[in-house]
Structure 1
Amino acid sequence: MSDFLNKAKDFADKHDKQVDQGLDKAGDYADKRTGGRYDEQIDKGVDAAQAHTGEGDQGR
Structure 2
Amino acid sequence: MACPDDRRLADLVGELSVQDDQFRQRWGGHPVVPRTGGTKVFHHRSPVNSPSPGTPSPA
Calculate the TM-score normalised by the size of structure 1: 0.32
Q: Greater share of helix residues, 1 or 2?
A: 1
Query: Bigger relative contact order, structure 1 or 2, given CA contacts below 8 A and separation 6+?
Result: 1
